[in-house]
Amino acid sequence: MSEETALLERYHSVQNRIAKAVEQAGRKQGSVALLAVSKTKPVEMIAALAKAGQSSFGENYLQEALPKIAQHPELEWHFIGPIQSNKTKPIAENFAWVHSVDRLKIAERLSHQRPAALGNLQILLEVNISHEASKAGFSPDELIDAAKQVAQLPNLTLRGLMAIPEISDDPQQQRAVFAQMKALLQQLQNALPDLPLDTLSMGMSGDLEAAILEGATIVRIGTDIFGARSYPQTATQSTGE
């Protein structure tokens, strides 16, 4: 079996898992978008998936992502990794979505540096839902106040929330944490009824079913599509997929 054939088999397997989970949840087919997390993977794999119909790709590392975006500007690119203040300008200029806005300063910089000609940057606030010291993100308690401030910024559209919960093999534990995220989004919708708060980015290879059962609208899948990863020595595996 060729590498491309194996890639497409994994891709279609993930699509089937999503469809089954959507059906189990009693939701409409098409209500959950698949974000293919292509970090550390070559552009040839991205091109193969794009040919198969995948249009949205997630990247964690800016310097790795920019050449891929340059080769495939027709695709929808999502930034899902940690954001350093000195990296906000190229992120604002090159991505359609940012999932990992973890503090107000980052939102302000993205707003200021987003070219108006590109239209609004779609953003999600990252929530540290498992209260892990090693994870970035807003605490649930500060989320509504932060969202109200972000909502005032030009050149951004706040669409919802993202989370990377603590890893668990227990489906009930997985669902419990994702249910908290759904409740937080509902609180935001009530507090800011004029915003298009329609997005919950949660669920990865090991817990996508639990995430969909609790309302995920985007699942971020890397390993189960692209296979195992080899990370740069300076990289961490704590974000995205």
Mean pLDDT value across the chain:
94
Look at residue 239 and tell me whether its pLDDT is greater than 70: no
The pLDDT of residue 235 is 45
Rounded to whole angstroms, the Cα distance separating 53 from 218 reads: 16
Q: How buried is residue 205: exposed, middle or buried, by Cβ count under 10 Å (0-12/13-18/19+)?
A: middle
* β-pairing verdict for 199-201 and 156-163: parallel
Q: Which residues contact 34 (CB under 8 A, 6 or more apart)?
A: 14, 15, 18, 54, 56, 218, 219, 221
Look at residue 210 and tell me whether its pLDDT is greater than 70: yes
User: Which tokens go with 226?
Assistant: 């692209």
The pLDDT of residue 234 is 45
As its CATH architecture, domain 3-226 has: Alpha-Beta Barrel (3.20)
Size of the chain in residues: 241
The pLDDT of residue 132 is 76
* Straight-line distance from the first to the last Cα atom of the chain, in angstroms, rounded to the nearest whole number: 26
The pLDDT of residue 232 is 55
The pLDDT of residue 237 is 45
Rounded to whole angstroms, the Cα distance separating 106 from 140 reads: 18
B/e letters for 181-198, b = 16+ CB within 10 Å, e = fewer, are bbebbeebeeebeebebe
pLDDT tens digit sequence for 131-146: 877 788 999 999 999 9
The helix/strand/coil state of 172 is helix
Asked whether the whole model's pTM tops 0.85, one would answer: yes
The domain ranges of the chain are 3-226
DSSP string of 184-239, one letter each residue: HHHHHHHH-TTS---EEE---TTTHHHHHHTT-SEEEE-HHHH------TT--SSS
pLDDT tens digit sequence for 93-107: 999 999 999 999 999
pLDDT tens digit sequence for 57-88: 999 999 999 999 999 999 999 999 999 999 99
The helix/strand/coil state of 77 is strand
The pLDDT of residue 240 is 65
